[in-house]
């Protein structure tokens, strides 16, 4: 392990480091990015695959689980937890303040500088040379307000994900854009970095034989990455010329003739034309390792080493780039306290990241704290946290009829209920005896287990090198359709 760490440390110091392969979820961000020891939903694929060892299980009783955390029984009897579609949209506070919308009423904010520029037709008048002296002064004031402001729009798609006991997988599209304005010569420079990842991931977790309190897991990732970096007008011109030229088209047409679509998707395209630093397209593989120790039902300890060996192979033939290794350690406390129908399953968690100091983050920016509370049969979830020293908040709504399954008469018809009739090969009248129960279950299942989830998070970030340098906040809104059985 020490040799592996030294090798990774040396290799990363002499290569250009890439951003981590990660899918940001509104629930995790609402809890201040604490999830390493929580590990109780599909986010285990990215934050700790060791959680799959216990996922989809429920305790036989509160008392038994406290005395012996290995006494669990399967919760799912059919397909597990399937998310059919999830869409996450986000914007940072600077976009809302500067672009022109009030964060409270979502109505046009006429005092926003970009809206002022649009209202006075600044860009058209500047191009035509018809700006008056007063308009030029107003435009200069608006541009000064925009200096050094960075925008972080997000648009992520969870195409499909699946999780149940022992394993899970998913296909995700994640984007991360940073746009900003900096002082230039006659005109300010527009700067920007854009990353677009298509991630296919498979994770599995198992108990360590002979040590039932311990579990380990692994996530395997295959992804394709597109990135653009613009720091001035010359970069924009270089990207345009590179992709609009016939030489790229000829290379791509040649690859299509010699390769199948499957080969291009899995292996990418090899450009004969020399690439440019401002734009890259590549393919990568990698894996994460996870560990979990369940001291009791309440207390869990988790460790995840993400991107143990993850590299991006660029299609233009340039040197591949590594993704930095990141080790996170977490502690989660889940007290056995609930008020049936009103409050249940609270969570308190602490995470510390970058243990190997590969990302060179300030020590105080590595800590994360988070809590989650569920109300009204888990229909409403409140989340609080501290991320990089700044408070975070989250709110979740489960728009489903799951609460109906808590009604005894209906709950007995669930296939995982102890009251549900079990198949007996010696009972020749099994179908006739239980036909009503089976038919009613088939009708109720889509109502009881279909979930429409809405999650909202408001997360604080530190964009500077030290706490308090440059604070920013990010809004995320996630809509998802899932089926849990």
* Sign for the pseudo-dihedral over CA of 216, 217, 218, 219: negative
CA gap 149, 447 in Å, rounded: 47
CA gap 59, 39 in Å, rounded: 16
Tokens representing 147 are: 């200096």
pLDDT value of position 76: 39
Tell how far CA 468 is from the center of its chain.
Answer: 25
CA gap 150, 148 in Å, rounded: 6
Residue ranges in 37-121 assigned as alpha helix (H): 44-47, 62-67, 93-99, 113-119
The CA-based dihedral angle spanning residues 408, 409, 414, 420, taken in that order and rounded to the nearest 10 degrees: 100
CA gap 306, 421 in Å, rounded: 44
pLDDT value of position 467: 78
Given the DSSP bridges, would you call strands 380-387 and 367-375 parallel, antiparallel or unpaired? antiparallel
pLDDT value of position 67: 46
Tokens representing 202 are: 């498979």
pLDDT per residue of the chain (485 residues) written in tens, 0 to 9: 434 443 344 344 434 578 888 898 999 999 999 999 999 889 999 999 999 988 876 544 444 444 444 444 444 344 678 898 899 998 877 666 666 555 444 456 667 777 777 778 877 777 777 878 888 888 877 777 666 567 778 889 999 999 988 899 999 999 888 777 666 655 666 777 888 999 999 999 999 988 888 999 999 999 999 888 887 767 777 777 776 666 566 666 666 667 666 666 655 666 555 667 778 888 999 999 999 999 887 899 999 999 988 889 887 777 888 998 999 999 999 987 777 768 888 999 999 999 888 777 788 889 999 999 998 878 899 999 999 889 999 999 988 776 676 666 666 655 555 555 555 556 666 666 666 666 666 666 677 778 889 999 999 888 777 777 777 888 899 999 988 76
Q: What is the DSSP letter of 245?
A: S
Q: How crowded is residue 155: how many other Cβ atoms within 10 Å of its Cβ?
A: 15
E-strand ranges in 335-434 read 343-352, 367-375, 380-387, 390-399
- By residue count, the chain amounts to 485
pLDDT value of position 162: 93
Residue pair 95/153 in contact by the 8 Å Cβ criterion: yes
Would residue 463 be called left, alpha or beta, if left means φ above 0 and alpha means ψ between -120 and 50 degrees? alpha
The residues facing 225 across adjacent strands are 197, 282
* DSSP-derived 3-state class of residue 259: coil
CA gap 118, 355 in Å, rounded: 47
Domains delineated in the chain: 2-484 (2.40.160)
pLDDT value of position 61: 44
pLDDT value of position 152: 78
CA gap 57, 42 in Å, rounded: 14
pLDDT value of position 72: 44
CA gap 176, 17 in Å, rounded: 16
């Amino acid at each position: 392990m020490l040799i592996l760490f030294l090798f990774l440390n040396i290799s990363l110091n002499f290569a250009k480091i890439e951003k981590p392969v990660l899918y940001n979820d509104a629930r995790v961000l609402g809890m201040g990015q604490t999830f390493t020891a929580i590990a109780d939903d599909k986010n285990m694929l990215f934050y700790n695959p060791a959680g799959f060892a216990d996922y989809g299980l429920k305790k036989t009783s509160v008392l038994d689980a406290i005395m012996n955390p290995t006494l669990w029984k399967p919760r799912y009897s059919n397909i597990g937890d399937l998310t059919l579609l999830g869409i996450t949209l986000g914007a940072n506070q600077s976009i809302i303040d500067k672009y022109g919308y009030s964060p409270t009423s979502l109505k046009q904010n006429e005092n926003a500088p970009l809206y002022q520029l649009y209202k006075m037709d600044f860009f058209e008048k500047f191009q035509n040379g018809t700006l008056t002296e007063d308009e030029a002064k107003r435009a200069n004031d608006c541009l000064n307000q925009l200096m050094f402001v960075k925008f972080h729009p997000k648009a992520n798609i969870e195409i499909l994900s699946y999780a149940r006991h022992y394993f899970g997988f998913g296909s995700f599209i994640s984007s991360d854009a940073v746009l900003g304005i900096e002082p230039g010569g006659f005109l300010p420079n527009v700067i920007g970095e854009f990353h677009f990842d298509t991630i296919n991931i498979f994770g599995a977790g198992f108990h360590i034989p002979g040590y039932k309190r311990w579990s380990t897991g692994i996530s395997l990732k295959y992804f394709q990455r597109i990135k653009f970096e613009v720091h001035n007008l010359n970069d924009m011109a270089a990207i345009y010329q590179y992709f609009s030229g016939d030489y790229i088209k000829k290379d791509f047409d040649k690859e299509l003739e010699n390769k199948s679509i499957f080969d291009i998707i899995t292996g990418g395209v090899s450009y004969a034309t020399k690439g440019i630093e401002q734009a890259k397209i590549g393919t990568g593989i990698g894996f994460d390792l996870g560990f979990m120790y369940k001291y009791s039902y309440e207390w869990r300890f988790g460790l995840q080493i993400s991107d143990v060996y993850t590299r991006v192979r660029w299609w233009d033939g340039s040197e591949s780039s590594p993704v930095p290794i990141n080790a996170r350690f977490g502690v989660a406390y889940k007290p056995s306290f609930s008020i049936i129908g009103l409050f249940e399953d609270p969570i308190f968690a602490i995470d510390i990241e970058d243990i190997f100091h590969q990302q060179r983050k300030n020590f105080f920016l590595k800590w994360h704290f988070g809590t989650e509370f569920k109300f009204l049969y888990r229909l409403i979830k409140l989340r609080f946290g501290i991320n990089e020293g700044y408070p975070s908040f989250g709110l979740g709504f489960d728009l489903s009829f799951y609460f109906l399954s808590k009604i005894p008469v209906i709950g007995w018809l669930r296939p995982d209920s102890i009251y549900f009739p079990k198949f007996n090969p010696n009972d020749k009248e099994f179908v006739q005896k239980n036909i009503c129960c089976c038919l009613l279950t088939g009708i109720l299942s889509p109502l009881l287990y279909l979930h429409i989830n809405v999650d909202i998070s408001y997360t604080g970030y530190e964009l500077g090198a030290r706490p308090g340098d440059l604070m920013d906040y990010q809004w995320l809104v996630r809509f998802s359709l899932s089926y849990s059985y």
